Amino acid sequence: MPSINDRIGSQNVIRVLSNASAPPTKLVNMNDVDTARKGEDGLVLVWDASTEKFVLSDKIDASTIIQTGISSISNTTNSSTATTGALTVAGGVGISKNLTLGAGFVAAGVATFTSDIDANASVDIFRDLRVSNNLSVTGVTTFTGITTTVGDLYVGGDLYLQDDLVLDNITGSSLKITGISTVAQLTATNINVTSVTATGNVNISGITTLAGSGGITTTGGDLYVGGDLYVGDDLTFDEFVARLGTVNQQLTAAQLNVTGVTTFQNNVSLLDNDKLTFGGSALGATGSLHIYHDGSNGYIDDVAIGNLILRASGFTFYSPSNESIITGTPNADVKLFFDNVNRVETTNYGAKVTGILSATSITADNITLDEIDGGSY
């Protein structure tokens, strides 16, 4: 490069003249630039303090980089892990304002949100979700795995379950089950069931109302009631078998077959022409002995060929006013009464008549009369 001597003030200097006709020197030809990777596209110059040179590199290892403008990354590589994608960050990322994602969001570690989370679409959580405060969901929530709540879980609307619900203890003012429920033990103050199928025992210690709204309750097998059974309306059955039964009011039955002892504490009422029948060789037979009332008179009818036999250690027929009509004593007498006065009495030698004996004729081998009124002898 040409030079000339010159003088500035009292000092001698050397003026260096540039060659204006020569082209400018390229950056890659400078001595303080490491151009080992000059054949690659998209590299930047990074100052390397150890070699005191600028190095063409695809990495910036400065402790702090401040970007004041808008940064755009045109690479479209998708991210499936923390080390893949168009932009990978080895450390944390601090964002002062909104973060808008055009596709999915995957958090491999613990994600902490110090403010509200507003999700306007579906949220898929494949691992644990821990909420230290309230979690409010206004739409449909689907849990595909195991969901554990350490505290209480409040559902303001309906809770739909497509699979099994396993509970240690459930307490509720109202529980509605439309499908099949398998319960090892159920304790409820009030339960309304549209349909229930029990393969084992159903033990109910309190009051149970079946078909309270007028429906039909059907048991395919046996129904055991350890306490009292109260029926507010009609009780209809094809066959009723009981060791002990108590009817406090009215029992209406087309046919009642009792094979054991039946105790009636109060009256047994049969309407007019309703017959109490005895006899027959099969259930439902008419029977030969009938006891009934036809509206005017009472009857004891033995319609069989045999006799009506009454056995007792003694008997007395009374009138409704409690006057004696006939009395009988075994090995003693039979007395006939008129107006509660004994008129005819059997004795060991015959009969005794007290009062007047009227007869159209008398035939006897030996007769003794104390008095004859109205005739001669």
Query: How open is the CA angle 324-326-329, to the nearest 5 degrees?
Result: 110
**102-147 pLDDT tens trace:** 777 777 777 777 777 777 777 777 767 777 777 777 777 777 767 7
Could you tell me which residues come within 8 angstroms of residue 283 by beta carbon, excluding any fewer than 6 positions away?
255, 257
Eight-state DSSP code of residue 26: P
More confident residue, 310 or 365: 310
Distance CA 267, CA 92 (A): 93
Instruction: Give the residue-averaged pLDDT of 216-243.
Output: 71
With beta carbons less than 8 A apart as the criterion, state whether 38 and 30 touch: no
Distance CA 248, CA 314 (A): 34
Distance, C-alpha 369 to centroid of its chain: 94
**347-375 pLDDT tens trace:** 988 888 888 888 888 777 777 666 555 55
Distance CA 355, CA 364 (A): 20
pLDDT of residue 13: 61
CB atoms closer than 10 angstroms to residue 202: 13
Instruction: Give the residue-averaged pLDDT of 295-306.
Output: 85
Could you tell me which residues come within 8 angstroms of residue 286 by beta carbon, excluding any fewer than 6 positions away?
277, 280
With beta carbons less than 8 A apart as the criterion, state whether 225 and 201 touch: no
Instruction: Give residue 194's pLDDT band: very low, low, confident or very high (50, 70, 90).
Output: low
Tell me: pLDDT of 52 over 60. Answer: yes
Could you tell me which residues come within 8 angstroms of residue 108 by beta carbon, excluding any fewer than 6 positions away?
81, 82
pTM: 0.35
pLDDT of residue 377: 46
Average pLDDT across the chain, whole number: 76
Tell me: pLDDT of 46 over 80. Answer: yes
Count how many residues are written for the chain: 377
Tokens of 179: 């499908």
**146-180 pLDDT tens trace:** 777 777 777 777 777 777 777 777 776 766 777 67
Instruction: Give the residue-averaged pLDDT of 318-322.
Output: 89
47-56, 149-158, 223-232, 235-244: which has the highest mean pLDDT? 47-56
**239-279 pLDDT tens trace:** 767 666 666 667 777 777 777 777 777 777 888 998 888 87
Instruction: Give the residue-averaged pLDDT of 81-104.
Output: 83
Tell me: pLDDT of 193 over 90. Answer: no
With beta carbons less than 8 A apart as the criterion, state whether 287 and 277 touch: yes
